[in-house]
Chains A and B, each alone.
Chain A
């Protein structure tokens, strides 16, 4: 194990802000993309179903 403690791990030798600022942002941005992809597909299906129901009237 390279890190003596979790405290040392989070500190990243004094560069914690920069390292975790990078990884945190990447995690958030990609999570947002994944959620919006999942919701987007469901919404597309719903919208197309509505359009179809409306057209067949």
Chain B
């Protein structure tokens, strides 16, 4: 097991592995999205309080969870990269950020479109919403920092540092509905209590969560392959790929 991990920590081996994994994750995500949307629109019943407006949940919750989860994965790779100076970890962090930003944006957008009919406001400056907006700005900030620093190794370190500092925001988002009085409803899924929603609604939402998960993996693997080629362009194996031998 540990031998396999070290083997794939080498960008050359990981490039091939990622290439083989991408179709599996992409297809799984596509199939799960189709099932999830079917459950969301044709099986899940109308909500007794919110009517049809609640159907935004099947997008909003997966997007919000992914925006936080991807950030934590980036923080993990940043920490690994800073501690052991492993090249691939920084590349993974760079590959994840744009997809994280997409989900952070979608969580804000779908939240606004859900908030308007339910609360009467597109936006309020409460703890949950404000910390989610900060998360989106963190993604944008980290990506701007990378693109502003030409030397990739220096960019890696600066970006990793910013990612780690910003990681304090994620638990703030997560616990914001408990710590502060907020318009935002409490967590849908709880570790200690039974879920506060009908089983079929929960099933649809979880299917969409896995679809988003596999999509994020596929997208970041595509991106990391590009980054690997770019960084390893002086090596023999990349030369072979460019010549069309491999």
Contacts and interface: CB of A to CB of B under 8 A. Distances in A.
Contact of B53 (A19, A29, A44, A51): A19
Contacts, number: 85
B233 A30 contact: no
B59 A52 contact: no
Contacts of A37: 219, 222-223
Interface in A15-30: 15, 17-19, 21-23, 25-26, 29-30
A29 B55 contact: no
B102 A30 contact: yes
Interface residues of A, number: 30
B56 A22 contact: yes
Contacts of B60: 22
Contacts of A19: 52-53, 55-56, 113
Given A1-B42, A40-B223, A52-B239, A15 B51 contact: yes
Nearest to B105: A29
Given A22-B113, A26-B63, A26-B106, A52 B233 contact: yes
Interface residues of B, number: 37
Main secondary structure of the interface of A (DSSP, over half): helix
A25 B112 CA distance: 12
Interface of B: 41-43, 45-46, 51-53, 55-56, 59-60, 63, 98-99, 102, 105-106, 109-110, 113-114, 116-117, 215, 219, 222-223, 225-226, 229-230, 233, 238-239, 241-242
